[in-house]
Amino acid sequence: MAEQATTEATTALATEATPATGTAPGTPAAEPAPMFRLAGVDKVYTQKSRTVHALQKVDLTIPAGQLVAIQGSTGGGKSTLLQMLGALDRPTTGTVTLAGQEISTLGDRDLARIRARDIGFVFQHYNLIPTLTAQENVEMGLAPLDVPAEERVSRAAAALASVGLADRASHLPGELSGGQQQRVAIARALAKRPKVLLADEPTGNLDEATRDDIIGLLEGLWKAGLTIILVTHDSAVARRAERRLRIHAGRVTEAA
Ligand SMILES: Nc1ncnc2c1ncn2[C@@H]1O[C@H](COP(=O)(O)OP(=O)(O)O)[C@@H](O)[C@H]1O
Ligand SMILES: [Mg+2]
């Protein structure tokens, strides 16, 4: 089942995950733009008289097609970093580029458009709408995009099939196991054919067997070309990533 789902996911993505090319047309054999480039990124939160340096001088390049795990203690800046990558917020200083486009200077509307179109989000608590079926939840992921209703339905069904849940499309989240709910959330992220998948503790709520199942699914998507960045407390998950980063007191380092 897990094997089959992974293979289907791989097939579904094969034609969708194209490498980032931030080069001008006609530029011969130039290096493709990395998926992300952060340069001198600081994030300072100010609340009343208290100032928190959540990110400090972060320089980071993530090529297209990497599977990156981010580990670090609570309050270290993991979520803040994901917010910078996911166009949820802007740095206080420094630049963030996504596939060659600088996103750190964009206004709220442009950021929202990039989030809707290019970034797939997966969360620890799945964030499914309990009164909607799996199929409807996945369709919701396409709501902010200009996708005709008929195509929304077919893309959602294909995304559910790609995570091995074709036979659960009409179930409500409450009728699904935790692992199945996370698969629906992954399908919702995939339906928009994102440039990158960002996951904040995607296996934090799952038992070990289900965790391995979900990581296997993510690995299959990565092998098909998708760029995946995940935050995890779980060393067993991090070990399976291609690259490991640590973040402590707002500073990012490469881990062995
Ligand atoms: N919106 C905010 N306002 C003020 N401080 C914040 C805000 N978000 C995060 N912080 C602070 O920034 C630091 C990093 O937080 P966060 O990125 O959530 O860490 P992590 O996800 O690694 O636990 C913490 O000290 C946190 O309290
Ligand atoms: Mg966090």
Model's pTM, two decimal places? 0.89
pLDDT category at 25 given cuts 50, 70, 90 is low
Question: Does 23 map to a domain?
Answer: no
Residue 147 belongs to some domain of the structure: yes
Contact (Cβ atoms closer than 8 angstroms) between residue 230 and residue 237: yes
- Does 211 map to a domain? yes
The rounded distance, in Å, linking the Cα atoms of 92 and 100 is 20
Q: What is the pLDDT of residues 83-119, one digit of tens each?
A: 999 999 999 999 999 999 999 999 999 999 999 999 9
Q: Whose CA is nearest to atom 16 of ligand 1?
A: 77
User: Where is average pLDDT lowest: 7-11, 190-194, 219-223?
Assistant: 7-11
User: Quick check: 174 and 123 in contact, CB under 8 A?
Assistant: no
CB distance 47 to ligand 1 below 6 Å? yes
Domain around 210: 2-18+33-255
CATH number of the domain at 212, please.
Answer: 3.40.50.300
Classify residue 150: in a domain, yes or no: yes
Q: Is the CB of 173 under 6 A from ligand 1?
A: no
Answer whether residue 28 is part of any domain. Answer: no
Residue 182 resides in a domain: yes
167-215: per-residue pLDDT in tens?
999 999 999 999 999 999 999 999 999 999 999 999 999 999 999 999 9
Residue with tokens 């320089």: 59
The mean per-residue pLDDT over the stretch 136-144 comes to: 95
**Domain membership flag for residue 24:** no
Task: Measure 76 CA to ligand 1 centroid, in angstroms.
Answer: 8
Q: Whose CA is nearest to atom 27 of ligand 1?
A: 75
Whose CA is closest to atom 6 on ligand 1?
45
Number of domains forming the structure of the chain: 1
Mean pLDDT of all residues belonging to the chain:
91
Question: According to the model, what pLDDT value does residue 26 have?
Answer: 61
CA of 44, nearest ligand number: 1
Residue 220 lies in a domain: yes
Cα 128 vs. chain centroid, distance in angstroms?
16
